């Protein structure tokens, strides 16, 4: 058979190259409304197994967004509250990395200073788990930006309103105070001693002025019938501030008292989560602990250690592409973590909107505006300075956006960066700038990816379409 003429080969080559290039430049955004919070689906367990979870077992839990705790508010109200929480959290995260020390918060029984933490002491996602023996089921926030596990306990000197009854440690057979002389107590950043009972006291203060203080103890936690014994946690009798609805916090950070650190041997130092787009799916988000957390589709980037601050998950962001082209002016040097612990990029489940250091954000925004010049501009909204009036349309073409990490690219779906901000067809570019050197990859950009924390391999992975 005679070979096709050379000019036809060149034609097909350039045709398919042009198609591939066009595919990398734009993608379709199907327009959706702000999500409506759905009722919480958690049933009470029908059994209370006495078996503890084996070290090789995997554990899966469902996650739900904090908005589900406020079903009576409108979607617009919830979105504005989310942005308000987000601003407080980001301010606190950046102040923590900048200061790393605070004026001691003096309360009876404590002898050392208080560590700072994240705004509000809570992230955006929570699950239901059992505490104590027999198990009392409560809502707990899960947060990669915090370490200490704690919950509200009676008797309460002061407790905020929560959805479940306050946990009573005196009704639990597995609750055990930690002696003041224990290494666990001495390793707390802020500890004290109850001189009457000779048991350890803790306190944690957050950047917005919220705090929790009480007894430091060990207790059994139950996830879907699987029991994990002797988890060190704070039993808070005085909890004040901007906490929302849930009974406490399950810290997922890198610090020594976080849940992943305490249970590392059980779960081989691995966990992952996938956060669904709540405007597009009724399926709950999920979190997996153990070897099953590792997705075969994940592309990994190394974790970077900040010697000044052990809590956060730092990664190396080396560039960003818009419309298939690397954005000029965005390089790894803008996101460098220096020897003093300043700068860097963290992955955070509790921040919603990704914040980039100002020069990087400005370059990204300008590149996106140029690529989306065919869309009708709309007024600014809250922290967003790049918005569009897409009323009357069902779908639009938008420039692609890819985050380039060291060894791993994260090609974002259009719904992860152009989001509805009202019910009138206004959509905004879901990034923001910060004057701080710290950049934060938020949960809107993480939606739909299975984010894999392989702490044994000191790496984080991103698997697209990981919620299925």
Question: Contact at 8 Å (CB) between 351 and 89?
Answer: yes
The answer to whether the CB of 101 falls within 8 A of the CB of 208 is no
| Cα gap 291→275, rounded to integer Å | 19
Nearest Cα neighbor of 220 from 124, 136, 148 is 136
Max CA-CA distance within the chain?
A: 97
Q: Which of 208, 277, 348, 422 is catalytic?
A: 348
Q: Is residue 18 helix, strand or coil?
A: helix
Q: Where are the beta strands (DSSP E) in 241-310?
A: 248-251, 270-274, 285-289, 299-302
The span from the CA of 263 to the CA of 221, in Å, is 11
* Closest to 399 in 3D by CA, of 321, 319, 317, 465: 321
Categorise residue 230: left if φ over 0, alpha if ψ from -120 to 50, beta otherwise. left
CA dihedral 154, 157, 162, 165 (to 10 degrees): 20
Output the 3-class SS for 139-201: EEEEECCCCCCEEEECCCCECCCECCCCECHHHCCCCEECECCCHHHHCCCCEEEECCCCEEE
Q: Which of 143, 215, 277, 454 is catalytic?
A: 143
Pair of tokens at residue 227: 């029991």
Rounded distance between C-alpha atoms, residue 409 and residue 316, angstroms: 11
DSSP-assigned letter for residue 412: E
Residues 47, 49, 53: CA angle, nearest 5 degrees? 135
Show pLDDT as tens, one digit a residue, over the chain (468 residues): 555 565 544 444 444 344 344 457 999 999 988 877 666 655 544 345 444 544 446 788 888 777 776 767 788 877 887 787 778 778 778 766 765 533 333 333 332 222 223 333 345 788 899 999 999 999 888 889 889 999 999 999 888 888 889 999 999 999 999 999 999 999 998 889 998 999 999 998 776 667 899 999 999 999 988 899 999 999 999 988 766 678 999 999 999 999 999 999 999 999 999 998 766 666 778 899 999 999 999 999 999 999 888 999 999 999 999 999 999 999 999 999 998 899 999 999 888 999 999 999 999 999 999 999 999 999 999 999 999 999 999 999 999 999 999 999 999 999 999 999 998 999 999 999 999 899 999 999 999 999 999 999 999 999 998 887
Task: List the structure tokens of 410.
Answer: 């994260």
Active site residue 215: no
H/E stretch holding 218 reads strand 211-223
Catalytic residue list contains 409? no
Please state the length of the chain.
468
Q: What is the DSSP letter of 415?
A: G
Distance CA 458, CA 452 (A): 11
Quick one: 16 exposed, middle or buried, by C-beta within 10 A (0-12, 13-18, 19+)? exposed
């Amino acid at each position: 058979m005679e070979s096709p003429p050379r000019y036809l080969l060149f034609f097909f080559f350039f045709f398919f190259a042009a198609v591939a290039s066009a595919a990398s430049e734009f993608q379709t955004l199907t327009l959706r409304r702000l999500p409506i919070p759905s009722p919480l689906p958690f049933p009470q367990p029908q059994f209370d197994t006495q078996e503890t979870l084996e070290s090789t077992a995997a554990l899966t839990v469902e996650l739900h967004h904090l908005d589900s705790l406020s079903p009576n508010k409108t979607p617009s109200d919830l979105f504005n509250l989310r942005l308000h929480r987000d601003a407080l959290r980001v301010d606190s995260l950046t102040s923590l990395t900048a200061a790393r020390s605070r004026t001691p918060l003096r309360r009876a029984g404590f002898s050392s200073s208080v560590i700072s933490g994240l705004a509000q002491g809570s992230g955006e996602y929570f699950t239901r788990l059992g505490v104590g023996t027999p198990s009392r089921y409560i809502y707990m926030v899960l947060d990669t930006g915090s370490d200490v596990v704690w919950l509200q306990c009676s008797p309460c000197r002061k407790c905020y309103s929560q959805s479940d009854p306050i946990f009573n440690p005196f009704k639990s057979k597995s609750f055990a105070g930690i002696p003041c002389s224990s290494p666990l107590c001495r390793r707390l950043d802020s500890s004290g001693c109850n001189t009457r009972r000779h048991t350890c006291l803790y306190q944690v203060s957050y950047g917005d002025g919220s705090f929790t203080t009480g007894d430091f103890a060990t207790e059994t936690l139950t996830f879907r019938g699987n029991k994990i014994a002797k988890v060190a946690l704070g039993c808070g009798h005085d909890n004040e501030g901007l906490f929302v609805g849930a009974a406490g916090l399950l810290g997922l950070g890198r610090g020594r008292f976080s849940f992943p650190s305490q249970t590392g041997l059980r779960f081989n130092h691995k966990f992952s989560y996938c956060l669904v787009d709540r405007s597009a799916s009724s399926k709950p988000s999920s979190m997996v602990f153990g070897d099953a957390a590792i997705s075969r589709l994940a592309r990994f980037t190394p974790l970077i250690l900040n010697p000044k601050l052990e809590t956060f998950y730092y990664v190396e962001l080396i560039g960003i592409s818009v419309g298939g082209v690397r954005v000029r002016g965005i390089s790894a040097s803008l996101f460098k973590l220096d020897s003093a612990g300043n700068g860097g990029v963290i992955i955070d489940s509790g921040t919603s909107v990704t914040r980039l250091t100002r020069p990087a954000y400005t370059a990204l925004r300008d590149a996106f505006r140029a690529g989306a010049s065919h869309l009708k501009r709309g007024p600014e909204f809250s922290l967003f300075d790049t918005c569009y009036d897409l009323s009357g349309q069902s779908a639009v073409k938008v420039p692609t956006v890819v985050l380039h990490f060291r060894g791993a690219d994260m090609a974002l779906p259009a719904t992860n960066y152009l989001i509805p901000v009202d019910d009138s067809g206004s959509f905004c570019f879901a990034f923001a700038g910060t004057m701080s050197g710290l950049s934060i990859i938020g949960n809107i950009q993480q939606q739909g990816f299975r984010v894999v924390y392989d702490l044994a391999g000191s790496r984080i992975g991103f698997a697209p379409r990981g919620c299925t």
